[in-house]
Amino acid sequence: MDSAGLLAYLETFMAKEDIRTKEPMSRHTSFRVGGPAGVFICVPGEEELRRIVPYLYSHKIPYFILGNGTNLLVSDEGYEGVILSLGEAFAGLEIFDTQMKIGAACLLGRMAKEAMEASLSGLEFAAGIPGSVGGGVVMNAGAYGGEMSQVVTGVRAMNEQGEIMVLKKEELQMGYRNSIFKKKPYIVLEVNARLQSGERGEILARMQEYNRLRQEKQPLEYPSAGSSFKRPEGYYAGKLIMDAGLRGFSVGGAQVSEKHCGFVINKNKATAADIKLLMEEVQRQVKQQFDVELEPEVIFLGY
């Protein structure tokens, strides 16, 4: 990567404090691990993004859009490309009757809370998911029977040429932990959602119940990326891992949670290598014992 040329270009229209080199990714992921990013850019607004992305694309510089870092494992060696972190300008939220317009950098928890305050139902499942709205759409995040595809009606996005696109729901190809954004280099900018009118107290009670279940069943006291593996058809990943005798299994400082075997946790100063090796061993053992392929839900960066 021609870092010098990129930095010189960026400094023609961006503040220096929004551009960092060798930024430790351990500061930006929920696993709390990861080496440095080649260049880390805090993107202040859409106009800057429209100038950055086509430059990276035309110069064949790899880049990654960072949400809240809750589904990401960055290697200990880091990522040689560019990390784009969308700033506050991308975190807006507006409500019109039963419609919501939400910026990609808005957190799912805030979106769910604002909906509840407006007596709108449909986002209770998202209250305890720590990711961003953009990331939630990319992976069609879900929990407790709800998922983003149930409420999203369209997305405003940017392609690699910096052109703005408005994608209707049927164009989003949202499936289990999947969407068109996993297949195309489009960047989610803004999400439209349709909810249902409800009773505020009932909505709040459901959110509190889901959060109680999370506290009770998930190892929230340790750094992790939530569920480490996708649910295989006809099975539950956590149960397969438990039945394989891997509850509490460790590699270095990484461990299969004793509280919920679907979670790989950073229990004691794990490295990214510890976490990746542990996940690979879990996959190997489950395949060997049950002939089931576990597919990671975690995104690997810098490998």
Active site residues: 177, 227, 297
Q: How far is CA 127 from the centre of its chain?
A: 15
Alpha carbon distance 42, 88 (integer Å): 10
* H-state helical runs in the chain: 3-10, 46-58, 108-117, 133-138, 200-217, 237-243, 272-290
Under 8 Å between Cβ of 142 and 152 = no
- 210-230 as b/e: b if 16+ CB within 10 A: beeebeeebbbebbbbbbbbb
The order of strands in the sheet holding 36-43 is 19-24, 36-43, 79-86, 63-66
Measured on CA atoms in the order 27, 28, 31, 35, is the torsion positive or negative? negative
Q: How far is CA 15 from the centre of its chain?
A: 27
Two tokens at 127? 């209250």
Nearest-Å Rg of the Cα atoms of the chain is 20
Phi, psi of 92 (to 5 degrees): -70, 160
Under 8 Å between Cβ of 23 and 83 = yes
> Using CB atoms within 10 A of its CB, is residue 118 exposed (0-12), middle (13-18) or buried (19+)?
middle
Q: Is 199 helix (H, G, I), strand (E, B) or coil?
A: coil
CA dihedral 119, 124, 127, 128 (to 10 degrees): 160
Residue with tokens 């270095």: 252
